[in-house]
Amino acid sequence: MGGHSIETRHLTKQFGKFVALDALDLRIEGSKCVGFLGPNGAGKTTTLKMLTDMLFPSSGECFLDGISVQKDRKRALEACGVLIESPEIYPSLTPRQALEMVADLRNVPVAEQKIRIPAVLEEVKMSDWADKKVGKFSKGMKQRVNIAAALVHDPPILLLDEPATGLDPRGMAEVRDIVRGLKKRNRLVFMSSHILPEVTDVCDEVALINHGKLLFYDTLDNVTAKFSHGQISVDVNFVHPLSDADVAAKVASLPGIVRVEQLDPRRLRLYTPGGPEEEAKILRGLISAGLDVVSFQESKSALEEVYLSQISRGD
């Protein structure tokens, strides 16, 4: 364990009468990636901005490595790489100069800058643009430079607010690779996102908030085990259209199936209490019943089921 930590104590933010974040108590430590999940407007950015002293809490306090952000932002942020709200970089600077600025302000020795800066620019695939002015870059390119800026001093803690914002699909995949790389090197990553596959893909733990309230914070495995007590749905496509009689006789009667929904003549959605073995058994059953299955896939990930059920409960 790295011993690094991110903590919020009773963190609250009000905008006028509106409570954007309501007494958030969260303590994250060790080396892992924690996904900070929630729908738009849930309070993710608000939380991250208070963790970096961009916003002031209405009450409560934040700590990075035990140092109060509100009392000493300078020291608290030394351990962090920060990317919040897709910032802009001074347009006349090049990515290399912008990263030099960050490295200078963070005291990265010049000799080390000579190695780190090209390396992180390569990491975010911006080497070819290293000496062009940022002013004319696209949103995605700027975001890549922003990611590089958060990594340039090789920080033990990363606070990332929807880092994949503005990136193309390949860029999103690259961000995931970067985060996975950070995990391998035992960094502590706190990353907000509303992209569930991204979270499932790279995070070890998830914290879910909605309407400024924390719904849960646990490991991904525990979360899916604890909250998906309902059902998993599986979408199945067939070569031939199925009649109602076929559905009743050959599908609904299979053990493990709770409910069947016919989406269109060649497509069914099956509900099952779940488990991989159960699903495999159902697939075998369909085939032995003589049905030609084209595809068989969970319609939502386990996290998505949890997410949707938890979010809708709050509304």
Partner 1 sequence: MGATIPASGVSVPEGTTPALTSPASHIQVFRLARYQLRDYLLSRRFILMLGIVAVLGVILTSVIGYYRPASLLGTSDNFYNQIWAGAVTVVIVFAGVIFGGDAIAGEFQNKTGYFLMGLPVKRATVYSGKYVAAFVSSFVALVAFAAILLGNAAFYFGTGAFTVAFLESFLLAVVYLLALLGATFLFSSMFKTSTYAVLVVAVMFIFGFSIVQALVAGLIKIEPWFIISYASPVIGYPFDATIPAHMVTVTSMGPRGHTTSFTSYNPTYAEGVVIMLGYFLVTAILGLLLFEREEFT
Ligand X SMILES: Nc1ncnc2c1ncn2[C@@H]1O[C@H](COP(=O)(O)OP(=O)(O)O)[C@@H](O)[C@H]1O
Residue ranges in contact with partner 1 by CB under 8 A: 1-4, 31, 49, 52-56, 65, 73-93, 97-98, 100-102, 104-108, 112, 115-116, 119-120, 123, 146, 149-151, 153-156, 178, 181-182, 184-187
Q: Toward partner 1, which CB reaches closer, 79 or 306?
A: 79
| Burial class for 27, CB neighbours closer than 10 Å (0-12, 13-18, 19+) | exposed
Are 297 and 234 a contacting pair, CB within 8 Å? Answer: yes
Residue 172 C-beta: closest distance to partner 1, Å = 16
Stretch binding ligand X (CB under 6 A), from 39-47, 104-112, 122-130, 304-312: 39-47
The contact pattern for Mg ion, residues 2-41, with x = CB under 5 A and - = no contact, is ----------------------------------------
Per DSSP, the three-state class of 23 is strand
What's the rounded Cα separation, in Å, for the pair 51 and 57?
9
Q: Toward partner 1, which CB reaches closer, 187 or 228?
A: 187
Indicate which single residue of 31, 45, 47, 52 sits in contact with Mg ion (rule: CB under 5 A): 45
Q: Which two tokens stand for residue 214?
A: 């924390």
**Does the footprint of ligand X cover residue 35 (CB under 6 A)?**
no
- Span 6-25, contacts to ligand X by CB under 6 A: 15, 18, 20
Q: Which of 198, 217, 190 is nearest to 206 (CA)?
A: 217
| Burial class for 12, CB neighbours closer than 10 Å (0-12, 13-18, 19+) | middle
Q: Which of 272, 270, 242 is nearest to 256 (CA)?
A: 272
**What are phi and psi for residue 130, nearest 5 degrees?**
-55, -35
Positions touching ligand X (CB under 6 A) are 15, 18, 20, 38, 40-46
Positions touching Mg ion (CB under 5 A) are 44-45
